[in-house]
Structure 1
Amino acid sequence: MSCIFITGSSEGLGRNAALDLLENGHELVLHARNSHRADALNDLTERGVRIVVGDLARADGVRAVAEQVNSIGRMDAIIHNAGVVDGAALLPVNVIAPYLLTALIERPDRLVYLSSGMHRGGRADLTGADWSGIRATKTYSDSKLFITAFTMFLARIWPEVHTNAVDPGWVPTRMGGPAASDDLREGHLTQAWLAGSNDPGAEVTGGYWHHMHQQKPHPATLNQDFQDELIAQIADHTGVALPTPADRLRGES
């Protein structure tokens, strides 16, 4: 069975995916923003789940999470589930944190990033983006377009890693709200399947998924020039570059 790390997993879709994977025999490392939220996972720690803590809105919090995960050992899969819907922390949590965690955590075999159908209303425009989160400069839809483009970039540069984006639908979690119209159970099944299934159908890369079916994402997410511009801006802001296949080959030589 695999060892799988899930961000933002103290409640909602992250916790539901964790329960599903735990029932299927996987080892889990879950994440909570702070110790108070970590208390909500006490019932799962009794079942062998390990917990890491850190605020993904802060660069030092993201680095702390990466260090904690690496100290546990190599993950087989990571589900980047954590997200916020508005506010100045939108870009730090929804885009910068997944980027940094991807760069800083030892590379797994599978990566899953939570997107949204709302990414199709996003703008492929990086002008004025405040990646630090001091100011709110982009919309939720923009942030999900960016993370979907990042997913497609990784599928291109790391072809040996099964990397996919998932739209969980509009589900009635704390983030989605009580008026959400999609089935809550359907919201976590695809990402859990992509992260932990032995089904050959899950061993794919570069897909955009909704309720177990691949769909076409916004065309801009597949545009290599836009992907490269996005990654260059984030790397410049964070001072952290993603390891490339050439870097790995140099390390093995």
Structure 2
Amino acid sequence: MDRRKFLATGAELGPALIAGSLLPAASVLAQTPPDRPGKESPMSNAQPGAGRKARVFITGSAEGLGHAAAETLLSQGHDVVVHVRSRARMPAVQELVDRGATATIGDLGDVAQIRDLASQVNALGRMDAVIHNAGVISGPSLLVVNVVAPYLLTALIQRPQRLIYLSSSMHKSGKASLSGMDWTGHTSTGSYSDSKLFVTTLAVAVARLWPDVYSNAVDPGWVPTRMGGPSAPDDLRLGHLTQEWLATSNDPEALTSGGYWHHQRRQDPHPAVNDIRFQDRLLAELARATGTKLA
């Protein structure tokens, strides 16, 4: 589907998406198995052989842009794997699971749980696309959730055809310095802008190292989600359309790699993003911190 058709589809679905982007806490999922310490199991009502067009995993799907993207992709007939932080957040994706989505669980602020989440996804089979949507704006877990988690999931999940990383226009004010960064989440280091500079750099580095994968970063705009706040000026619909387009479209413009996108338009990122030496330093630092190298 080309860019204009995606925009038209978003306009038609807009009111429903906005109304459904934050679900009320309802009853826990009927499919939820008894608690087991350490590991979680994916849960699904999806029927095999349903003729889905693409299988897409979306982190941070309980609300906001991740939930809206899952809503849209399910409506388009895709096979969607959603993600929530904990079992307590499962009611937020109840409706999506009832419609055929598969749910996975893992706290992206905890490296052990990130690894387990990758195992859950791999147990489902190869994804066609992964949308690294989850993020936090501050706190000690900032670098773990916004940078380490996308890095580790990229390294550990069976390689998909397409990778999309959520960036921000704020990455342009980030500092291209890795000195003193705490990747463990024990102390607060780095800013939100820094974290988005790092993850945008990761996206472009993956595009360079994995030529068989379409890897891109997306600035969704300042949209009215829990993170963006109710007074955010941008259109929520446009905030997730680019991710869906890059994840599923056969539009030649979507079948490109190494881009930084805003509302389906390729933009110029911070100069450090395309600096191969900075890319390599970032990957080396993340490999050192996690003990896992990007193959």
The one of 191, 198, 213 aligned to 1:146:
198
Give the whole-Å Cα distance in 2 for the aligned partners of 1:13 and 1:158. 27
The one of 79, 82, 86 aligned to 2:134:
82
Give the whole-Å Cα distance in 2 for the aligned partners of 1:21 and 1:167. 19
**CA deviation after TM superposition for structure 1 residue 8, in Å:** 0.2
Give the whole-Å Cα distance in 2 for the aligned partners of 1:4 and 1:151. 17
**CA deviation after TM superposition for structure 1 residue 139, in Å:** 0.2
Q: The residue matched to 1:160 in structure 2 has which SS?
A: coil
How many residue pairs get aligned? The number is 243
Residue aligning to 1:167 = 219
User: 1:200 is matched by which residue type in structure 2?
Assistant: P
Q: Does residue 247 of structure 2 align to residue 199 of structure 1?
A: no
Identity %: 58
Give the whole-Å Cα distance in 2 for the aligned partners of 1:79 and 1:146. 16
Consecutive unaligned residues in structure 1, runs of 5 or more: 244-253
The one of 283, 287, 294 aligned to 1:231:
283
Q: TM-score, normalised by structure 2?
A: 0.82
**CA deviation after TM superposition for structure 1 residue 37, in Å:** 1.1
Q: The residue matched to 2:164 in structure 1 has which SS?
A: strand
The one of 84, 103, 106 aligned to 2:158:
106
Give the whole-Å Cα distance in 1 for the aligned partners of 2:95 and 2:61. 13
Residue aligning to 2:240 = 188
- Runs (4+) of structure 1 exceeding 6 A deviation are none
User: 1:222 is matched by which residue type in structure 2?
Assistant: N
The one of 169, 181, 193 aligned to 1:129:
181
Residue aligning to 1:156 = 208
Residue aligning to 1:251 = none
Give the whole-Å Cα distance in 2 for the aligned partners of 1:193 and 1:26. 12
User: 1:238 is matched by which residue type in structure 2?
Assistant: T
**CA deviation after TM superposition for structure 1 residue 240, in Å:** 0.2
Q: The residue matched to 2:69 in structure 1 has which SS?
A: helix
**CA deviation after TM superposition for structure 1 residue 198, in Å:** 2.4
Residue aligning to 1:248 = none
The one of 112, 136, 147 aligned to 1:95:
147
User: 2:96 is matched by which residue type in structure 1?
Assistant: L
Q: TM-score, normalised by structure 1?
A: 0.95
Measured on the aligned residues, the alpha-carbon RMSD in Å equals: 0.6
User: 1:166 is matched by which residue type in structure 2?
Assistant: V
Give the whole-Å Cα distance in 2 for the aligned partners of 1:200 and 1:228. 29
Q: Does residue 98 of structure 2 align to residue 46 of structure 1?
A: yes
Give the whole-Å Cα distance in 2 for the aligned partners of 1:53 and 1:70. 13
Q: Report Cα offsets for 1:129-175 as digits up to 9, x if no partner.
A: 00001111100000000000111100100011000000000001001
Q: Report Cα offsets for 1:38-92 as digits up to 9, x if no partner.
A: 1111111111100000000000110111010000111000000000000111000
Q: Report Cα offsets for 1:108-137 as digits up to 9, x if no partner.
A: 000000000000000001110000011111
**CA deviation after TM superposition for structure 1 residue 36, in Å:** 1.6
Give the whole-Å Cα distance in 2 for the aligned partners of 1:23 and 1:201. 23
Give the whole-Å Cα distance in 1 for the aligned partners of 2:179 and 2:93. 40
User: 2:246 is matched by which residue type in structure 1?
Assistant: L
User: 1:29 is matched by which residue type in structure 2?
Assistant: V
Q: Report Cα offsets for 1:182-240 as digits up to 9, x if no partner.
A: 11111000001100112222111011000110000000111000110011010001000
User: 1:48 is matched by which residue type in structure 2?
Assistant: G
